[in-house]
């Protein structure tokens, strides 16, 4: 059970990196096909089924097409940032994968290795930190394109992602309270010892799910690209591989979010209703089975993202912000206090981490969910679109604009 050292460690790390990168990129490519086929299924049509059997070679054809297309940069764009932006969106989406433990430890001739590329002690803080870098790519893309639609898309995305970063971070705090650690491996171990966090912390699970949609810019939160309003939002001016990189980043983010949700709330690589996977000596079979488990959970979330996208309409910008700041933020703050109190109380009463512990936490969560759902039913969660500027306010804004124009005109004439 010793860790490999020296050259073996380097070689094995590199092998893990390569394996995960290949699996990851392959899944991302086929998620694009899955999106098209599943949407076709939902919408009662066929979807791409011409390239290869059942359209299975479609992602390859798309990739070749995007690589061979001409790269265009608008004359008025800022060229360096315009080229940098897709890379900035692309890289963080992939880097986050390094810390997710992909299965039970794998025994090798050089020692037992963890199936995370790097099981960092800072754990999910690393994911939160790196994934929030992705917003730079989108904002810079919107700004450097020198296009008004792109600019609005970039602005929306920066506001949206920064806001939901907070809700997302707060949703993970209860997980941290339970696990007592931010390392992903420890969070998985804690869930194996008690129960999945989706049961223990249902509210955090649901809010995390909502934030994950916002973080990945997926419908109903796809305001940065809102095709009916902003044409294509921040990537209006992009084409060929640079456009493709934004798409890959979006699907990669979805997959990261899926794996992240699974790890934090659905037990990670834990196989439910058995302790075979987490006890006893490590074996290759266990590693393979647990990897398949997490992969299946991640695929389920990918399907869920796609399913929701083709079902729901889109939020409006202010509704999105209101949901993030006025609903999720206070709710989560109150929830953290509640969970901390319940945990303290349980410790004080002396209930260990067994059935009673799980039942109590689950009961508390069901009560909170019921209250929130009741509140949601009253139509307060989505603020209606009726909010509108008054005529007087409009008139004032117009006068301000006219005056600014006058000042600018006077200034340009040097008076």
Partner 1 sequence: MSGTRTIEVQLSTTGLAPDGTPQRVPLAVDTAGHLVPVGAALPAVEPDLGGEHMLINIGPQHPATHGVLRLVLELDGETVVRCTPHIGYLHCGFEKIGEYRQYNQIIPWTDREDYLNSIGNNVAFVLSAERLFGIEITPRCTVLRVIAMELSRIISHLVWVGTTAIDIGAFTPFLWAFQERENVYNLLEGWVGARLTTSATRVGGMAADLPDGWLDGLRNFVRTFPRTIDEVDRMLTKNGIWVGRTLGLGAMGAAEAVNHGLSGPMLRASGVAYDVRKDEPYLDYETYDFDVPVGTAGDVYDRYLVRMEELRQSVRILEQAMRRLPDGPVNVDDPRVILPPKHKATSGMESMIHHFKLVMEGPRPPIGECYVPVESPKGEKGYYLVSDGTSKPVRWRIRPPSFVNLSAIPKMVEGHLLSDVIAINASIDIVMGEIDR
Other Cβ atoms less than 10 A from the Cβ of 155: the count is: 16
CB under 8 A: which stretch of 130-138, 288-296, 333-341, 405-413 binds partner 1? Answer: 405-413
Q: How far is the CB of 388 from partner 1 (least distance, A)?
A: 4
CB under 8 A: which stretch of 29-37, 118-126, 292-300, 376-384 binds partner 1? Answer: 376-384
Residue 69 binds partner 1 (CB under 8 A): no
Give the Å distances, CA to CA, from 272 to 11, 130, 186, 268.
Answer: 33, 30, 17, 10
Closer residue to partner 1, CB minimum distance, 89 or 152 = 152
Give the tokens for residue 59: 């992602």
Residue 146 binds partner 1 (CB under 8 A): no
**Sites for partner 1 among residues 15-54 (CB under 8 A):** 39, 42-45
The residue assigned the tokens 């050292």 is 5
3-state secondary structure of 314: coil
End-to-end CA distance of the chain: 81
For residues 204 and 332, is the Cβ–Cβ distance under 8 A? Answer: yes
CB under 8 A: which stretch of 111-119, 120-128, 221-229, 241-249 binds partner 1? Answer: 221-229
Strand partners, 112: 107
Closer residue to partner 1, CB minimum distance, 26 or 396 = 396
Residue 390 binds partner 1 (CB under 8 A): yes
**Sites for partner 1 among residues 88-107 (CB under 8 A):** none
Closer residue to partner 1, CB minimum distance, 90 or 305 = 305
Q: Per-residue DSSP letters for 187-212?
A: HHHHHHHS--HHHHTHHHHHHHHHHH
Q: How far is the CB of 403 from partner 1 (least distance, A)?
A: 7
For residues 98 and 112, is the Cβ–Cβ distance under 8 A? Answer: no
Q: Per-residue DSSP letters for 345-412?
A: HHHHHT--SSHHHHHHHHHHHHHHHHHHHHHHHTT-SS--TT----HHHHHHHHHHHHHHHHHHHHHH
Q: Please pick, from the candidates 81, 107, 189, 316, the single residue that binds partner 1 as defined by CB under 8 A.
A: 316
Q: How far is the CB of 218 from partner 1 (least distance, A)?
A: 11
Q: Please pick, from the candidates 6, 53, 350, 384, the single residue that binds partner 1 as defined by CB under 8 A.
A: 384
CB under 8 A: which stretch of 125-133, 192-200, 260-268, 388-396 binds partner 1? Answer: 388-396
The residue assigned the tokens 């309270």 is 177
At a CB cut-off of 8 Å and minimum separation 6, what does 346 contact? Answer: 357, 360, 361
Q: Please pick, from the candidates 149, 216, 258, 349, the single residue that binds partner 1 as defined by CB under 8 A.
A: 149
Residue 403 binds partner 1 (CB under 8 A): yes
Give the tokens for residue 165: 């970063």
Closer residue to partner 1, CB minimum distance, 297 or 309 = 309
Q: Please pick, from the candidates 88, 99, 152, 214, the single residue that binds partner 1 as defined by CB under 8 A.
A: 152
CB under 8 A: which stretch of 24-32, 100-108, 225-233, 340-348 binds partner 1? Answer: 225-233
Other Cβ atoms less than 10 A from the Cβ of 158: the count is: 19
In the complex, which residues of this chain contact partner 1 (CB under 8 A)?
Answer: 39, 42-45, 148-149, 152, 219-220, 222-223, 226-229, 231, 310-319, 376, 379, 381-386, 388-391, 393-394, 397-407, 409-410, 415
């Amino acid at each position: 059970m010793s860790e490999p050292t020296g050259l073996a460690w380097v070689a094995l790390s590199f092998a893990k990196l390569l394996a995960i990168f290949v699996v990851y990129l392959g899944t991302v490519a086929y998620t694009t096909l899955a999106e098209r086929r599943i949407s076709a299924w939902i919408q009662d049509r066929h979807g791409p089924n011409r390239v290869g059997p059942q359209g299975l070679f479609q992602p390859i054809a798309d990739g070749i097409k995007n690589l061979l297309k001409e790269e265009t940069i608008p004359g008025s764009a800022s060229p360096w940032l315009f080229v940098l932006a897709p890379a900035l969106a692309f890289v963080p989406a992939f880097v986050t994968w390094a810390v997710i433990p992909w299965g039970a430890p794998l025994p090798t001739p050089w020692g037992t290795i963890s199936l995370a590329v790097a099981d960092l002690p800072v754990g999910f803080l690393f994911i939160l930190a790196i994934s929030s870098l992705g917003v730079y790519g989108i904002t810079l893309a919107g700004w450097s394109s020198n296009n008004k639609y792109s600019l609005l898309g970039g602005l929306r995305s920066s506001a949206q992602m920064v806001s939901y970063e907070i809700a997302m971070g707060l949703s993970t705090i209860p997980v941290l309270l339970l696990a007592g650690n931010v390392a992903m491996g420890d969070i998985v171990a804690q869930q194996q010892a008690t129960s999945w966090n989706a049961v223990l912390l249902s509210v955090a699970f649901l809010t995390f799910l909502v934030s994950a949609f916002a973080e990945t810019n997926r419908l109903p939160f796809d305001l940065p690209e809102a095709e009916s309003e902003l044409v294509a939002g921040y990537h209006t001016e992009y084409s060929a591989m640079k456009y493709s990189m934004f798409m890959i980043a979006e699907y990669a983010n979805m997959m990261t979010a899926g794996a992240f949700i699974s790890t934090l709330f659905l037990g990670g690589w834990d196989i439910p209703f058995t302790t075979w996977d987490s006890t006893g000596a490590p074996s290759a079979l266990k590693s393979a089975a647990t990897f398949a488990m997490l992969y299946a959970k991640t695929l389920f979330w990918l399907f869920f993202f796609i399913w929701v996208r083709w079902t729901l309409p889109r939020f409006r910008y202010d509704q999105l912000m209101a949901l993030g700041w006025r609903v999720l933020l206070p709710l989560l703050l109150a929830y953290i206090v509640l969970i901390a109190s319940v945990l303290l109380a349980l410790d004080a009463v002396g209930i260990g981490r067994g059935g009673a512990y799980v039942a109590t936490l689950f009961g508390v969560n069901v009560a909170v969910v019921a209250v929130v759902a009741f509140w949601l039913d009253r139509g307060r969660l989505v603020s209606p679109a009726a909010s509108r500027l008054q005529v007087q306010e409009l008139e004032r804004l117009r006068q301000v604009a006219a005056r600014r124009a006058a000042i600018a005109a006077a200034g340009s004439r040097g008076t």
